[in-house]
Structure 1
């Protein structure tokens, strides 16, 4: 049984609902300080993954081409529109919930996209899903679910119940990868996996900068790089001189 994606998604639901429900009981200093801590953790994990890179040109090329594709198809704008639509739906269903009313639409969109990427497309989540599908070991995703539980709870104090809906893309991505792992992993090499992790780490680093309010990278537009990096790594390793 593929357990990891189920537990991780349940953690996001529980954290999102619990954080939104108890928002007014959580001290403001925690609501302000902890997201910065999560952003710092994302940057630290991202740096660790980046150091695993084997073919730096392949990683850089994947990020550039992925960002170009993301910009051309307005990927970030599309995810932002979905997030705002989910927010509107939640407000209609729960009209008296006011935990996130202090946020402007722009601030809501910035934070929502950042945590969606953090939950759904982090290197840890993707690698954990592949490992769970290939070996049946859910340990990586179980560890991630603990962090996601508290992260979702804290961000839900500002973003409301909308955070709980992030389990939908998260579950779809993780379960899809887990089911395909048996077919995908035999086609990969250690170098390809290392460059994939490094590319994901670069996105996690940018996500941390965004959560901390240091720099608002269009991180959703980087996501196509995760699809491109392994083929580019393979081609670079096979055909590049030296």
Structure 2
């Protein structure tokens, strides 16, 4: 049962509705300080996941190679372009929302990328599908609900519509993860979680606006984490020992 996926999507819908009505009454300093707290919470989740790491070289290699692949294929740009395409569709479905100026489009694309293609969501969906542990997605919901509220100050009810593509993406990841789980070992899963933890820390820095890490370009690292962990344990460790 994809409880975490469903709850996360409901959190965005509720946050979008609340933000449409009460968001404009919040001060800019309140929103800024709240984002700092969100970033700190994301980093806390990441650090707790990194602590599970079994093979540091495999995890580090996954992050480096995955980021190189993401940058080489311009994955971050691809995701942004997909966001712009969604903006056009959403504008046709719900006309009259927002001002439709450059700021509006920029905020909408940012919201789509954050909710649908964040390292936290991908990591949490795969973890839930593999192990049945929904804690990452539930913790993400606590962050996403007030974040959606803030986005709704500019986007209005369009923020709620973003929950639809997010549900589709997360459900696909949830189902695919369940299929590959029987082939995974405990060590592979721990290294995968640690790799996702690195992305969570990077996401935290980005949310706090300390450093703009290319989080979207780092996503391929999560695909490489388990295969490289398996190769490290099976071939490299016996050779060096």
- Give the TM interval when normalised to the shorter protein: 0.7 to 0.9
**Larger displacement relative to structure 2 (59-68 or 110-119):** 110-119
Among 224, 227, 236, the alignment partner of 1:228 is 224
> Which residue in 1 is equivalent to 2:160?
164
Correspondence for 2:75 = 75
Contact residue 58 and residue 229 of structure 1 kept, 8 A: yes
Using a 3 Å threshold, how does the CA distance of structure 1 residues 160 and 222 change in structure 2: closer, same or farther? Answer: farther
For residues 152 and 112 of structure 2, the distance between their equivalents in structure 1, rounded to whole angstroms, comes to: 10
Distance across 2 between alignment mates of 1:141 and 1:217: 21
Residue 4 of structure 2 corresponds to residue 4 of structure 1? yes
1:91, 1:102 → 2: CA distance? 14
CA shift, 1:64, in A, is: 1.4
Alpha-carbon distance, 1:233 to partner: 0.4
User: Are 1:55 and 1:233, in contact at CA under 8 Å, matched by a contact in 2?
Assistant: yes
Q: Are 2:87 and 2:109, in contact at CA under 8 Å, matched by a contact in 1? A: no
Tell me if structure 2 keeps the 8 A contact 1:119–1:148: no
Residues 140/53 of structure 1: CA separation in 2 closer, same or farther (3 Å cut)? closer
Which 10-residue stretch deviates more, 27-36 or 143-152? 143-152
User: RMSD of aligned C-alpha atoms?
Assistant: 2.9
Report the Cα distance in structure 2 between the residues aligned to 1:60 and 1:159, rounded to whole angstroms.
38
| Structure 2 CA distance for aligned equivalents of residues 96 and 181 of structure 1 | 36
TM-score (norm: length of structure 2)? 0.82
| Residue of structure 2 aligned with 1:217, choices 209, 213, 231 | 213
Partner of residue 194, structure 1: 190
Tell me the SS of whatever aligns to 1:216: coil
1:1-242 aligned at under 5 Å gives the runs 1-90=1-90, 93-95=94-96, 97-98=98-99, 103=103, 113-116=113-116, 117=118, 120-121=121-122, 123-132=123-132, 141-142=137-138, 144-158=140-154, 160-240=156-236, 241-242=240-241
Please state how far the C-alpha of 1:151 moved relative to its aligned partner.
Answer: 2.8
Please, what TM-score do these two structures have when normalized by structure 1?
0.81
How many angstroms does 1:75 deviate by? 0.8
Alpha-carbon separation, structure 1, partners of 2:189 and 2:87: 36
Structure 2 gaps, min length 5: none
